[in-house]
Amino acid sequence: MKEKIGVLGGGSWGTALAILLANKGLDVEMWVRNKDQANEMDINRVNKKYLPNAKFPDNLVVTSDIERSIHNKDVLLLSVPTHGVRDTLEKVKDIINEKQIIVNVAKGIENNTLMRISEIVKEILPNNKYAMLSGPSHAEEVATNIPTTVVSASVNKEVAEYIQDLFFTPTFRVYTNPDIIGVELGGALKNIIALGAGISDGLEYGDNTKAALMTRGIIEIARLGASLGANPNTFSGLAGIGDLIVTCTSMHSRNRRCGILLGKGLSLDEAVKEIGMVVEGVKTTNSAYKMASKLGIEMPITEEIYNVLYNNYDVSNSVNKLMGRDKKHEMEDIAINNNYNW
């Protein structure tokens, strides 16, 4: 059987994955909200705005008709920004078949409800099987067949393995993971740390500073994740440290680039406008800060980035505050809970 795929969202990542699946010979229809943009992409066979160097295969169709992109499909790839997931699913929930598998590739946490995307999908489409595809994977590289590894996460082993097989290519290696909570949180929260890494670069700090932010950042991510039921080991894998590394170090990363502009003195509005695309870490910082406050979880980097974004704190002062915090054990849980005598 040759699967039929519907891709909801025509940004860079949705486009890259649509191209990948179409290159495997699958029939792919990609929904783009703007009718003129959809027509232009379908005629010229390229996403000029987001991926100008990646041509569309003949079996990739672009449409502004969302019902067409869903009808008679085996898998629906959910590739709209996090803040648009609920509205999109509410719009189409009555035409989605319960047998269709939902695969999310957006990375974020809903601001108002603090829900992960799997929780939103479960609320709106309670009978559909769900998987998350995440990991260190810039669209610009995947679309040009640069070797990449990601993880397919689902509470259902068969679904995780089915999505693994669906996306697996000689240059796109897919692992499986049952920890949907950890994979979703790792993909979302690393964007916050990438903003911090960019701010550090914008301030012209060095590699030492960025390494410290990344290392202590993954500790924060794992700390919040564990409190929500994630497996701590997930954060040492592709959806954790892997995604964190690529997002904090690459100029493909919108979050890092936004942070660089903030470090150079631009306002948040100016920085986001210059990036010209959704910067998921901005909204995710708001969600993560609220979650940490609600649960009583210590996340000092997240707190300082929240203050920079939403309280207009000076970025240099935020770095000084992080450096001047009270002295601590590096591995507090190990040092304190195991009663080391040293």
- Check if the beta carbon of residue 244 is closer than 8 Å to that of residue 217: yes
Q: What's the one-letter identity of residue 181?
A: I
> Would you call 134 helix, strand, or coil by DSSP?
strand
Phi, psi angle pair for 181, to nearest 5° = -65, -50
- Check if the beta carbon of residue 130 is closer than 8 Å to that of residue 159: yes
Q: Which of 256, 262, 134, 252 is nearest to 203 (CA)?
A: 262
Q: Which of 1, 13, 163 is nearest to 76 (CA)?
A: 163
Q: What's the one-letter identity of residue 142?
A: V
> How far is residue 140's CA from residue 172's CA, in Å, rounded to a whole number?
13
Instruction: Find the catalytic residue in 24, 107, 129, 190.
Output: 190
DSSP label at residue 116:
B
Q: Which of 268, 261, 264, 248 is nearest to 191 (CA)?
A: 248
> How far is residue 196's CA from residue 301's CA, in Å, rounded to a whole number?
8
Determine the length of the chain: 342
> How far is residue 174's CA from residue 171's CA, in Å, rounded to a whole number?
10
Residue 254 token pair? 């919108």
Q: What's the one-letter identity of residue 116?
A: R
DSSP states along 57-119: PTTEEEES-HHHHHTT-SEEEE-S-HHHHHHHHHHHTTTS-TTSEEEE----B-TTT--BHHH
> Would you call 120 helix, strand, or coil by DSSP?
helix
Q: Identify whether 91 is a catalytic site residue.
A: no
> How far is residue 187's CA from residue 106's CA, in Å, rounded to a whole number?
8
DSSP label at residue 333:
H
State the catalytic residues. Answer: 190
